[in-house]
Chains A and B, each alone.
Chain A
């Protein structure tokens, strides 16, 4: 599984990785890393969405490294790529956390939040599928009562993964939907409740309050619920991810994040700077449209792929 994931992610990351690689390739034949090469590496890290600050810091670390010369008295590019991967892994490793290892209550309530179009509904379905494979029963709460056909979308997925879907009226109270789903789970002895909330931009105060309310209402049935509050980030997002993470964390207190759409050209380099700033665990990555395309996050594979290492 891990290998498969790595392969898939590597394909997804290939574009950005090749950029980093090309930067590294440019030093072949040189005995020292000159400023020009360092600038190039920094630029490539910026292009990979790591952000100016983190890119600068990692570049500086590479500058400070003493690299061994090979017999032609050249630095081997693989050394630099390794250093790069190590630096990134160091940042990410403490936040690697399996999404499913925290599931120890019943019913376990997992809430998904995020901006519009980040992939919450698809992710909800993928998580439900994973639980189904573990022979656990799931109820999906279609808390997106705003967007046209959001409920239908989740219902379609629900059918495919064999999960019940609780929904309300369009434009109805989204917190109530979540509450009813939880109630149902308690009554029918269902293992998992996944709350799929409406997408919202993090600067819309009212909508963020609605999210807080959903959590508050759910907690009336169980103080600990929702047990997991996970933000779904679009892998193609840039530095705005910082603002997203901060706002969602402030409004509901996040327990983790999932990065989606890493099968495209995007590689979610912003995760590295997010990891530095906010100590929010990274659970999983979405790498395709298939139900099994949600994979546990592994810092080392991710870092290696980002640095273009095999």
Chain B
């Protein structure tokens, strides 16, 4: 969601970082552009003002103007202030006291409350091992309760049965009672969407609040929210004491201004972001990582975590062993493609990598996407078991058969075979170097090895087809490596990868 903002800021900083020395007017001018970029990204005006003032005070200090790389220094200051605005630490849900802990979801119409309720239930059940119950207080929107019931079934959690004609207050009482009887850990209450003007509904929400004494009252807000709706969030937080924000539709192309605004306007942390229409599309929000993404410094930590989640330890260990022996065949490749897909496909992974904003667009333009990967998969599936283990069997007629079997051209098959051989070679090398070394290699060849987002940009713009192929190789080729790394460091909190990814990349 931050790509657009990233592009804009990138251009501003490009002007700055090229300069050896900065004058006050340089900074002034750049900040004016930053202001426009932030406003265009729907960051609330009050937040923009505060932000610019903070940066200005620090950036105009002598320290910056005299430093060796003043431009970089300014980028760093912007990054620091971004983190401050986004909140400096991630915040967990506070649901561990005497059950049932109640989570109350409030928000404007169509902000995504019901979907979020389903996702939250799924998250708490599958990741926190909680016994969850869902209850809908939305007696107004047609089929709202039906929707929650279906989501509850999909998440395999309990849903309070509907009784027609009940008021939200009555439903709340019934839900509380039912949760106690059924030893529920967390009760999620989904309320009706409202508008600030609607005083009747606001007082209803307050009543429910009083009855349920929620541990968490989460404001569900759309990431595409404009200036005025941020004011609504403020009004909400003044009327009902909210404890956190869930930012939905963060997988859209909104510029992420709402993320910057919500925290300062409501004074509450963003706890989760919604990233897809599916039940598992809810992610914890990490301010530092988000700041990194805004400045295109990537989110390597999330990537490693995702890899660790997806790739089984034994799989990784086995793969490592095979790799170090240089035996990397089509079966291994198939496994990797599967892992890549599980991790959200190329798009999902790319969005977490640093310096990749521009590259992503180029990849799309070159038709290098998840479809290409599925194609590779199809090709491998069209090989016999023997062929998959021993590629040298593939003569012209076999290749022809595979091409027609997978609906591709012989040239596609040839390309894949070449790729697999290149990969096998590289794997062998990397296996010898050890996991982290290989990973570093990959990062440097991906991002040009520079922590400076601007120079990365310029490198990406000259990236040609060869580099693309190389990248593809890297992407496919390094997954088990990543997983292994995550496993290796998981318990110690990933040394060398915490904090700002850009710094630690070297």
Chain A interface (Cβ within 8 Å of chain B)?
Answer: 11-12, 15-16, 43, 46-49, 51-52, 115-119, 146-150, 152-153, 155-157, 201-204, 234, 236-241, 243-244, 261, 263-267, 269-270, 289
Number of CB contacts from chain A to chain B under 8 A: 155
Inter-subunit contact B255/A265 (CB<8 Å): no
Asked whether A147 lies within 8 Å of B227 as measured between CB atoms, the reply is no
B36 touches A153 (CB 8 A): no
The contact of A237 among B45, B115, B225, B253, by CB within 8 Å, is B225
CB pair A261 B195 closer than 8 Å = yes
Do A238 and B226 touch (CB < 8 A)? Answer: yes
Q: Is the CB of A238 within 8 A of B42?
A: yes
Distance between B137 CB and nearest chain A CB, rounded to angstroms: 16
Name which of B144-152, B320-328, B413-421, B440-448 contacts chain A.
Answer: B144-152
Q: Find A147's partner among B147, B222, B251 (CB 8 Å cutoff).
A: B147
Q: In the complex the two chains form, what is the Cα distance from A266 to B147 in whole Å?
A: 26
Q: A119-B110, A152-B142 are in contact. Are A43 and B45 (CB under 8 A)?
A: yes
The CB with the most chain A CB atoms within 10 A, among B39, B196, B197, B226, is that of B226
| B-chain residues with CB within 8 Å of residue A150 when the two chains form the complex | 143, 147
User: Is B339 located at the chain interface by the 8 A CB criterion?
Assistant: no
Expressed in whole angstroms, the Cα–Cα distance for A119 and B141 within the complex equals 11
Task: Find B228's partner among A51, A152, A204, A236 (CB 8 Å cutoff).
Answer: A236
Cα of A141 to Cα of B197 in the assembled complex, Å: 33
CB <8 Å contact, A148 and B151: yes
Q: Is the CB of A236 within 8 A of B252?
A: no
A149 x B147 contact (CB < 8 A) = yes
Interface size on B, residues (CB 8 A): 47
In the bound complex, residues from chain B placing their C-beta under 8 Å from that of A152 are: 142-143, 146-147
**Minimum CB–CB distance for B272 against chain A, Å:** 17
> Would you list the 6 A-B pairs with minimal beta carbon distance, nearest first?
A238-B226, A117-B110, A264-B195, A238-B42, A156-B142, A149-B147
Give the residues from 212 to 253 in chain B that come closer than 8 angstroms, CB to CB, to chain A: 222, 224-229, 231-232, 235, 249, 251-253
Q: For the complex, what is the distance from the CA of A279 to the CA of B226, rounded to whole Å?
A: 22
Given the complex, which residues of B lie within 8 Å of A244, measured CB to CB?
224
A46–B195 CA distance with the chains assembled, in angstroms = 21
Interface status of B41 (Cβ within 8 A of chain A): yes
Bound CA–CA A270/B224 (angstroms): 12
Q: How far is the CA of A129 from the CA of B72 in the complex (A)?
A: 60
Question: Smallest distance from the beta carbon of B74 to chain A beta carbons, Å?
Answer: 22
**Closest A residue by C-beta to B113:** A117
Give 20 pairs: A residue, B residue, CB < 8 Å, sorted on A. A12-B197, A15-B196, A15-B228, A49-B42, A116-B112, A152-B142, A153-B141, A153-B144, A153-B147, A201-B249, A201-B252, A203-B252, A234-B222, A238-B42, A239-B40, A240-B42, A264-B109, A264-B232, A265-B197, A270-B226
Q: Is B374 an interface residue (CB 8 A)?
A: no
CB–CB A149/B253 < 8 A = no
* B residues near A234, Cβ cutoff 8 Å: 110, 222, 224
Given contacts A148-B150, A203-B252, A238-B257, contact A265 B226 (CB under 8 A): no
**Bound complex: CA of A78 vs CA of B316, how far in Å?**
72
Q: Once bound together, how far apart are the Cα atoms of A118 and B225, in whole Å?
A: 12
Give the chain B neighbours of A155 by CB distance below 8 A.
143
Task: Give chain A residues whose Cβ lies under 8 Å from the Cβ of B197.
Answer: 11-12, 15, 263-265
- Beyond A201-B251, A239-B255, A240-B254, 13 additional contacts (C-beta under 8 Å) are A47-B227, A47-B231, A52-B39, A115-B224, A147-B115, A152-B147, A201-B253, A237-B222, A237-B229, A238-B257, A240-B252, A241-B226, A244-B224
Chain A residue numbers with a CB within 8 Å of B224 are 115, 234, 237-238, 240-241, 244
Residues of B within 8 A of A11 (CB): 197
Least CB distance from A177 to B in Å reads 17
Let me know if B11 is at the binding interface, CB within 8 A. Answer: no
